[in-house]
Amino acid sequence: MTTLAQMTEDFAFLDDWEDRMRYVMELGKALPDLPEAERTAENKVKGCASQVWLSTHPHEGPDPVIDFAGDSDAHIVRGLVAIVLAAYSGKRASDIVAFDAIELFSRLGLIEHLSAQRANGLRSMIQRIREEAARHLV
């Protein structure tokens, strides 16, 4: 999977919205499929117009590293999931809680071009991940 640093660098070279959206869809195509066993009602993100699933895999400890996996049935949203996972997965719970990915999407030049429904879904994904991380802090 592409790292967040690589994504940020790649977005810096893309000047127009259509190129950015094509890149988002490429990121979505590269996202590993979520196993069918993890496509549960519990893992479904509420507030997304498309179907989005996020699964949480915490390690041990008072401030555990948490790995996330996700998927969507919509191409653009799947790309947004890939960016969210690059931003949060594999980080310590305290860092996840502290990091605002909406600001990241703004820096990448994406947030202002998302429809209201997609922006709300993105916020729901981010909120869900940050809440999951907060629950794992001891």
Catalytic residues: 48
Amino acid at 6: Q
Taking the chain, what is the end-to-end CA distance rounded to the nearest angstrom?
A: 30
Provide the β-strand partners of residue 44: 53
Amino acid at 51: Q
- What angle do the packed helices 4-12 and 17-30 form, to 10 degrees? 160
Contact 78, 125 (CB under 8 A): no
Grouping H, G, I as helix, E, B as strand and the rest as coil, residue 13 is: coil
